[in-house]
Amino acid sequence: MKPSPSNTHLWHLKEAVEADVPPILEQLAGHMGSKARARFQDKMERYVRKPDRQLIVAVQKNMILGLVCVIEKMDPPSGLECDNPKILQSFAASAQLLVHPDFRRQGIGKSLHQRSLKWAQSRGCKGHWLVTHRMADWYKKHFNYMFISRFLTKGTQKIALMKQFTDDPPESI
């Protein structure tokens, strides 16, 4: 069943459980080919099972409108150029933020990301980092992320960003 944008004000956020994986696949992975869908399913299953990560979903009734995957520690991608990549070892990372196209620009992505930041802070992480190829300006504008590096992976130009949780001057990156 495809989500309907008619009652968008009724959505809420929750921590996903294994029973949420099939609806996530049905409602958010319909555009994916079989290999990409299998990788996506494996990722969703890992995020609901492992204690060092969390899958947070935006739900409207029984429909999944969006999700964010956050992990306590993640190795920086190859090709990332920065002076001090070890700083990222004390930061949590988002591995994916996805909102169904019919529900974008309604605050769902922002709410999902804010929840992932709260999760990271509750785990004692010093900050948060992520990689994006289209949304760098959105993260800078809404969440005060700082640029780390631009790099190429699998033929796609990507940008790594970071955010420290303290008001201390940023450590060298």
pLDDT tens for 104-163 read: 999 999 999 999 999 999 999 999 999 998 899 999 999 999 998 888 877 888 898 999
**What per-residue confidence (pLDDT) applies to 157?**
87
Separation CA 156–CA 153 (nearest Å) = 5
Encode pLDDT of 50-73 as tens digits.
Answer: 999 999 999 998 899 999 999 998
Judge residue 99's burial from the number of C-beta atoms within 10 Å of its C-beta, 0-12 exposed, 13-18 middle, 19 or more buried. buried
For residues 13-37, give the mean pLDDT.
93
Mean pLDDT of the chain: 86
DSSP one-letter code for 22? H
E-only strand ranges, 72-145: 91-99, 127-132
Judge residue 9's burial from the number of C-beta atoms within 10 Å of its C-beta, 0-12 exposed, 13-18 middle, 19 or more buried. exposed
| Residue 9: band (very low, low, confident or very high) from pLDDT cuts 50, 70, 90 | low
Among candidate residues 67, 63, 68, the one with its CA nearest the CA of residue 10: 63
* Cα separation values, 15 from 22, 112, 138, Å: 15, 11, 24
What is this structure's pTM? Answer: 0.85
Residue 22's CB is within 10 A of a number of other CB atoms, namely 12
Mode of pairing for the β-strands spanning 53-60 and 63-71: antiparallel
Check pLDDT > 70 for residue 85.
no
Spatial CB neighbours of 80, under 8 Å, sequence gap ≥ 6: 148, 149, 151, 160
Going across the sheet that includes 91-99, the strands are: 12-15, 53-60, 63-71, 91-99, 127-132, 156-164, 146-153
